[in-house]
Amino acid sequence: LARRVYLSASFVEGWAHYCEQLAVETGLGAPAPEAEVAQLHDALLRDCRLLASIGLHAEGWPLERATRLFETEGRMDRLPAEREAIRGTFNPEYFCYTLGKLALRSARTRLLQPVYGGNLKAFHDAVLQLGAPPIGLLDTLLDRSSAGDTA
Protein backbone atom coordinates (compact mmCIF):
# COMPACT_ATOMS: atom_id res chain seq x y z
CA LEU A 1 0.00 0.00 0.00
CA ALA A 2 2.78 2.43 0.88
CA ARG A 3 4.25 2.02 -2.60
CA ARG A 4 0.98 3.20 -4.09
CA VAL A 5 0.34 6.22 -1.90
CA TYR A 6 3.74 7.52 -0.82
CA LEU A 7 5.70 9.70 -3.22
CA SER A 8 9.23 10.89 -2.50
CA ALA A 9 10.15 14.08 -4.35
CA SER A 10 13.83 13.12 -4.25
CA PHE A 11 13.02 9.82 -5.92
CA VAL A 12 10.64 11.23 -8.54
CA GLU A 13 12.78 14.22 -9.46
CA GLY A 14 15.95 12.18 -9.15
CA TRP A 15 14.56 9.57 -11.55
CA ALA A 16 13.74 12.30 -14.07
CA HIS A 17 17.21 13.82 -13.76
CA TYR A 18 18.80 10.35 -14.00
CA CYS A 19 16.79 9.62 -17.18
CA GLU A 20 17.92 12.88 -18.79
CA GLN A 21 21.51 11.74 -18.43
CA LEU A 22 20.61 8.18 -19.43
CA ALA A 23 19.10 9.41 -22.70
CA VAL A 24 22.39 11.07 -23.61
CA GLU A 25 24.49 8.10 -22.42
CA THR A 26 22.53 5.61 -24.48
CA GLY A 27 22.28 7.84 -27.55
CA LEU A 28 18.50 7.94 -27.50
CA GLY A 29 17.40 9.44 -30.78
CA ALA A 30 19.86 10.89 -33.25
CA PRO A 31 23.27 11.82 -31.89
CA ALA A 32 23.02 15.50 -31.03
CA PRO A 33 25.94 17.29 -29.35
CA GLU A 34 23.64 20.19 -28.49
CA ALA A 35 21.37 17.82 -26.53
CA GLU A 36 24.34 16.62 -24.52
CA VAL A 37 25.48 20.18 -23.83
CA ALA A 38 21.95 21.15 -22.73
CA GLN A 39 21.74 18.13 -20.43
CA LEU A 40 25.14 18.92 -18.91
CA HIS A 41 24.15 22.58 -18.43
CA ASP A 42 20.97 21.58 -16.60
CA ALA A 43 22.91 19.07 -14.48
CA LEU A 44 25.44 21.76 -13.56
CA LEU A 45 22.67 24.07 -12.38
CA ARG A 46 21.16 21.29 -10.25
CA ASP A 47 24.58 20.43 -8.81
CA CYS A 48 25.00 24.08 -7.81
CA ARG A 49 21.55 24.01 -6.21
CA LEU A 50 22.52 21.01 -4.09
CA LEU A 51 25.74 22.68 -2.94
CA ALA A 52 24.01 26.01 -2.28
CA SER A 53 21.26 24.33 -0.29
CA ILE A 54 23.75 22.55 1.94
CA GLY A 55 25.82 25.71 2.30
CA LEU A 56 22.89 27.98 3.09
CA HIS A 57 21.06 25.66 5.49
CA ALA A 58 23.74 23.51 7.09
CA GLU A 59 26.86 25.64 6.95
CA GLY A 60 25.43 29.13 7.46
CA TRP A 61 26.54 30.58 4.15
CA PRO A 62 25.58 34.19 3.50
CA LEU A 63 23.48 34.75 0.39
CA GLU A 64 26.46 36.35 -1.35
CA ARG A 65 28.49 33.15 -1.13
CA ALA A 66 25.71 31.12 -2.73
CA THR A 67 25.36 33.79 -5.41
CA ARG A 68 29.09 33.55 -6.17
CA LEU A 69 28.78 29.76 -6.43
CA PHE A 70 26.18 30.12 -9.17
CA GLU A 71 28.28 32.75 -10.92
CA THR A 72 31.60 30.90 -10.83
CA GLU A 73 30.65 27.22 -10.91
CA GLY A 74 27.26 27.53 -12.60
CA ARG A 75 28.49 30.06 -15.16
CA MET A 76 25.54 32.36 -14.53
CA ASP A 77 25.21 36.11 -14.83
CA ARG A 78 24.77 38.07 -11.60
CA LEU A 79 20.97 38.54 -11.61
CA PRO A 80 20.03 34.90 -12.33
CA ALA A 81 22.69 33.79 -9.82
CA GLU A 82 21.13 36.01 -7.13
CA ARG A 83 17.67 34.65 -7.91
CA GLU A 84 18.91 31.07 -7.63
CA ALA A 85 20.60 31.82 -4.32
CA ILE A 86 17.45 33.46 -2.94
CA ARG A 87 15.35 30.52 -4.13
CA GLY A 88 17.66 28.24 -2.18
CA THR A 89 16.64 29.93 1.07
CA PHE A 90 12.99 28.91 0.88
CA ASN A 91 12.40 26.08 -1.62
CA PRO A 92 12.41 22.74 0.23
CA GLU A 93 12.77 20.73 -3.00
CA TYR A 94 15.68 22.80 -4.28
CA PHE A 95 18.21 19.99 -3.99
CA CYS A 96 16.11 16.88 -4.55
CA TYR A 97 16.87 16.42 -8.27
CA THR A 98 20.57 15.91 -7.73
CA LEU A 99 20.23 14.03 -4.46
CA GLY A 100 17.93 11.49 -6.11
CA LYS A 101 20.04 11.17 -9.25
CA LEU A 102 23.21 10.60 -7.24
CA ALA A 103 21.50 7.89 -5.18
CA LEU A 104 20.23 6.15 -8.32
CA ARG A 105 23.63 6.31 -10.04
CA SER A 106 25.33 5.03 -6.91
CA ALA A 107 22.92 2.09 -6.70
CA ARG A 108 23.44 1.37 -10.39
CA THR A 109 27.23 1.41 -10.02
CA ARG A 110 27.03 -0.90 -7.01
CA LEU A 111 24.47 -3.39 -8.31
CA LEU A 112 24.39 -3.41 -12.11
CA GLN A 113 27.10 -6.01 -12.74
CA PRO A 114 27.00 -8.21 -9.62
CA VAL A 115 23.23 -8.40 -9.22
CA TYR A 116 21.74 -7.67 -12.65
CA GLY A 117 24.53 -9.04 -14.84
CA GLY A 118 24.92 -5.70 -16.58
CA ASN A 119 21.27 -5.72 -17.70
CA LEU A 120 20.23 -2.07 -17.41
CA LYS A 121 16.56 -2.87 -18.08
CA ALA A 122 16.51 -5.38 -15.21
CA PHE A 123 18.03 -2.80 -12.88
CA HIS A 124 15.51 -0.16 -13.93
CA ASP A 125 12.63 -2.61 -13.54
CA ALA A 126 13.79 -3.39 -10.00
CA VAL A 127 14.06 0.31 -9.16
CA LEU A 128 10.61 1.15 -10.53
CA GLN A 129 9.02 -1.81 -8.74
CA LEU A 130 9.83 0.01 -5.51
CA GLY A 131 7.37 2.80 -6.25
CA ALA A 132 8.86 6.14 -5.22
CA PRO A 133 10.46 5.39 -1.84
CA PRO A 134 12.35 7.83 0.34
CA ILE A 135 15.72 8.10 -1.36
CA GLY A 136 17.51 7.15 1.86
CA LEU A 137 15.86 3.73 1.69
CA LEU A 138 16.73 3.02 -1.95
CA ASP A 139 19.81 0.88 -1.28
CA THR A 140 18.12 -1.12 1.49
CA LEU A 141 15.04 -1.80 -0.62
CA LEU A 142 17.08 -2.76 -3.69
CA ASP A 143 19.22 -5.09 -1.57
CA ARG A 144 16.09 -6.74 -0.18
CA SER A 145 14.44 -7.09 -3.58
CA SER A 146 17.59 -8.55 -5.15
CA ALA A 147 17.70 -11.08 -2.31
CA GLY A 148 14.07 -12.01 -2.98
CA ASP A 149 12.74 -10.36 0.18
CA THR A 150 9.59 -8.40 -0.70
CA ALA A 151 8.73 -7.39 2.88
92, exposed or middle or buried, with CB in 10 Å at 0-12, 13-18, 19+? Answer: exposed
pLDDT mean across residues, the chain: 92
pLDDT of residue 151: 53
Flag whether pLDDT at 135 surpasses 60: yes
Q: What is the DSSP letter of 146?
A: H
List, as one string, the DSSP characters of 33-101.
HHHHHHHHHHHHHHHHHHHHHHHHHHS---HHHHHHHHHHTS---HHHHHHHHHHTTT-TTTTHHHHHH
Q: What is the mean pLDDT of residues 9-34?
A: 89
pLDDT of residue 67: 99
Task: Give the span between the Cα atoms of 18 and 46, in whole angstroms.
Answer: 12
Q: What is the mean pLDDT of residues 10-16?
A: 96
Q: Which residue has the higher pLDDT, 5 or 64?
A: 64
Q: Which residue has the higher pLDDT, 29 or 123?
A: 123
**82-109 confidence digits (pLDDT tens):** 999 999 999 878 899 999 999 999 999 9
pLDDT of residue 64: 99
pTM of the full structure: 0.88
